[in-house]
Amino acid sequence: MFFHAHPDDEALLTAGTMAMLAAEGHRVVLVVATAGERGLADIQPGEALGETRLKELYKSAAVLGCARVECLGYGDSGLSPKGGVAEERPDNAFIDADTEEAAKRLADILQEERADLLAIYDPAGGYGHPDHVQVHRVGRRAAEIAGTEIVLEATVNRDPLVRLLKLAGRFYRFPPEFDVRTFESAYSPGEAITHRVNVRRYTRQKRASMAAHTSQASGGDTDRTLAVMLKVPGPLYHLVFGTEWYVRRDLPPGARLTHPFGQWPE
C-alpha cells in the first residue's frame, strides 16, 4: 500500500516502484489523504478542482497497475506563501485531523488488504508540506495498529539533488520564491537511505502517471514542477527518474537494498 497526501504525489516519488510491483504480480493499493482541492491549477469552468484531481488520480493509478484507489476525504491543508501551515484552511484539514483517528482509518484498509508493506514519507515530509508531514505521522501509527511489518519512507537522495540545483542555478534563473538552500534540509541524506530501487524499466509508466495529472502542469505565473519534469527529453528522463529512494527505520543506516521486499543482508 502506498499512502500519499494529494493526487500527483504518487507520480513524483513512487510511481516506478508501484508499476514494478504490479508487474511482478503484487496487489498495489493507492490511498490519498485528500483530493488536493487547494492546489494551484487551471481547470475547466464549472468543475471543482478536487473532482478533477481525483479523476486524474484514477487515470494515473490505472497506468501504474493499481488494484484499488481510496481517498480518506480529509481537506487539503494548503500551504502558506512562506512554506508553512496555511492560516486559512478547511475545518477538516488533514493537518488538523486527530492522528489516532486518521491512523485507525488507514489501519482498517491495511488490515482489510492484509498489506505486507506501507510506503509513506520521511519525517520532514519531503520538502516540508504540512500534509506530507502528517502522512508520516499517521502512516507510522497505522502500521503499528495494523501490524504492518515493512514501512518504507519515500524520499529523495538530497546530496546529488542539491549539487544539481546549484549547478543549474548558474545557467537558469529560478523563480524568486525558489531557494535552493531549503533543499539542504529537505528529504534525506544519502547515508540514511536504505533502498535504491532501479525503476528504469518502468519510466514509461512513471512518465504517463505524471502526464495524467494535467491540472498540475499548469496554473500560476511560473513553470510548475510537474511541467518541468515532463519536458525532460526521453533518454535523460530515463536516467534522472530511473531510481526511487526509501528509508526503512528498522534497518541499519548502512543497509543497501534494491527491492522493497529485499532482506538485509542480501
Nearest Cα to Cα of residue 76 among 64, 62, 92: 92
Q: Are 50 and 37 in contact (CB under 8 A)?
A: yes
The whole-angstrom distance between residue 140's C-alpha and the CA centroid of its chain comes to 15
**Considering the chain, what percentage of its residues have pLDDT values greater than 90?**
62
Kindly report, residue by residue over 155-212, the tens digit of the pLDDT: 998 887 777 777 767 766 665 555 666 777 788 988 999 999 999 999 999 999 999 9
Q: Quickly state the pLDDT bin for 240 (edges 50, 70, 90).
A: confident
DSSP string across 70-114: EEEEEBP----TTSS--SS--TTBGGGS-HHHHHHHHHHHHHHHT
Kindly report, residue by residue over 68-125, the tens digit of the pLDDT: 999 999 999 987 766 667 778 889 999 999 999 999 999 999 999 999 999 999 998 9
Q: What are residue 206's phi and psi, to 5 degrees?
A: -65, -45
Nearest Cα to Cα of residue 13 among 72, 58, 60: 60
Sign of CA dihedral 91, 95, 98, 102: positive
Domains located in the chain, CATH noted: 2-247 (3.40.50.10320)
Kindly report, residue by residue over 32-45, the tens digit of the pLDDT: 999 999 776 655 55
